[in-house]
Amino acid sequence: MDAKGAFLNLLNVCNVLKGLFFFSSLSPLTRAGRGRGDVLELGDADFDYLASEHETMLVKFYAPWCGHCKKLAPDFEKAATKLKGTVQLAKVDCTASTEVCTRFGASVYPTLKIFRNGENAGSYDGPRTADGIVHYMKKQAGPNSVYLNTEADLQNFINNFDASIVGFVSGPGTVQMTEFLKAASIMRGQFRFAHTQDYGVGQRYGVNTERVVVFRPPRLSNKFEDSEVHSPSTLSVSGIRRFIRDHIHGLCPHMTMDNKEKLRGHDLLIAYYDLDYRRNPKGSNYWRNRVMKVMSQNSGHGLSCAVANKKDFLSDLEEEFGFGLTDGDTPFVTIKTRLGYKYTMREEFTRDGVSLERFLEDYFAGRLKRYIKSQPIPEKNYTPVKIVVAETFEDIVNNPNKDVLIQFYSPQCQHCKRLQPVYEQLAETVLSDPNIVIAKMDATVNDVPVLYDVQGFPTIYFAPANKKDEPKQYTGPRELKDFLKFMRREGAHKLAVSGVRQEL
């Protein structure tokens, strides 16, 4: 072999060794997992190197022992497969890669963050189902804001099922361009953004200077409001976000599973019916226009409205009202206030809108009776632990003279079953005290008042006498002495117990 051949062989050996060195520098977790599934496994050694290779990436920071992480894992894997080639999904085991997790503030598991070209672009706040992740992350792919060159580009962009936000801004590097692109980066998961430097692109909409324009979806066009809304000439990031929030939905938006939480932040009238804008836009707008006509005649009362496909919300209706809607061609109308109070229109929605007018008139006059999902009131309620249903909550729990400890439970909850002996012992212990009530309510079949945040079972609250608007959640140990110590400290009355040392 000549000198040249020997040199080439040596060069090949060096390249092989270089590859082996790089591979060995990866964390064991990364080497073991990179070839399995479509979720990329990253660690301290390779996070920055590999994350920078992807324009958009969703990273799950997790711990192997975390129950919520285990529950999310199958959906995360399914989403990764569906998003393959569009958005990369990755995961980091925070018990093995503490440096990366600490750097990005991942101390609660699972923590999901979006990265763009290796840079942290913010927390993921979308759904945690496979379809929800796919839908949300598809909106995250590509630029924050699409550039529009021509009027045809603008028409194609705004002729969409969803609302569109367009910035008419001056050249690159200007304050308005910078602020608009920042706002687009922050809100791109919720809305569609585009921009142009040519005011002529928006000439047909009266654009002749810097501004942001909200274009509502063409399918929701109506005679009661403009299809687009113009901002003041210049806005900061916070101003742009506020402008979009205040104008994006219009008088009567189409409520979906994606936007329902945003719409329900205020008093809201909702008409549920066979709404389908993709297959039957004309029929869908038929009832919406009747709702809008009546609502426009009753503006100024702080009540907003929306329309929704009843099939999409059958489970919600079952949970909130105890029934679903499968029959009937006319809308089912309900009002839900910010305080959680619910009212339903019992009369059939007439095509002339008169029944809706009467319903609103009674609502604004305070003549409507609140709808409460409740079990029947118990005929006998003499046990130490008092049974509370939604219809008796006011009389028992909100009795201004009583200190009340109430447990919200589910009959299927194993933790609730394990608590039952201690809870009954507690009730027996304070039974002789006329100022204290130990109670429980099945939260799966009764409406829970808005002041009580019940996210799991059991959830226990204490409502002191004369402070019913300030219930305090109990989060301490679930032993008899701990409950008694808590009630002594928080109660309005001095606690009298039988058979228990007072120092407990």
| Distance in angstroms (rounded) separating the CA atoms of residues 245 and 249 | 8
Q: What are the beta bridge partners of residue 61? A: 92, 111
Alpha helices in 237-371 (DSSP H): 237-247, 260-263, 281-296, 314-321, 354-364
Does the annotation mark 305 as catalytic? no
Does the annotation mark 413 as catalytic? yes
Identify the DSSP state of 137.
H
Identify the DSSP state of 487.
H
Instruction: Please name which of 183, 92, 76 lies closest in space to residue 130, comparing C-alpha atoms.
Output: 76
Does the annotation mark 66 as catalytic? yes
Q: For residue 157, what are the CA distances in angstroms to 105, 135, 241, 409?
A: 37, 19, 20, 49
Q: Do β-strands 342-344 and 211-215 pair in parallel, antiparallel, or remain unpaired?
A: unpaired
Catalytic residue among 94, 101, 305, 416: 416
Q: How many helices and strands (H and E) does the chain possess? A: 16, 20
Does the annotation mark 416 as catalytic? yes
Dihedral sign of CA atoms 449, 450, 454, 455 in order: positive
Catalytic residue among 69, 101, 252, 305: 69
Q: What are the beta bridge partners of residue 213? A: 166, 230
Q: For residue 32, what are the CA distances in angstroms to 24, 25, 27, 40?
A: 11, 13, 9, 11
What six digits make up the tokens of 447? 């409406």
What is the DSSP code string of 52-110?
TT-SSEEEEEE-TT-HHHHHHHHHHHHHHHHTTTTSEEEEEETTT-HHHHHHTT--SSS
Identify whether the C-beta of residue 397 lies closer than 8 Å to the C-beta of residue 405.
Answer: no
Q: Is 115 helix (H, G, I), strand (E, B) or coil?
A: strand
Give the CB-side neighbour count of residue 57, counting CA atoms within 13 A: 26
Q: For residue 346, what are the CA distances in angstroms to 281, 314, 356?
A: 27, 18, 10
Identify whether the C-beta of residue 272 lies closer than 8 Å to the C-beta of residue 331.
Answer: yes
Q: How many residues does the chain have?
A: 504
The catalytic residue positions are: 66, 69, 413, 416
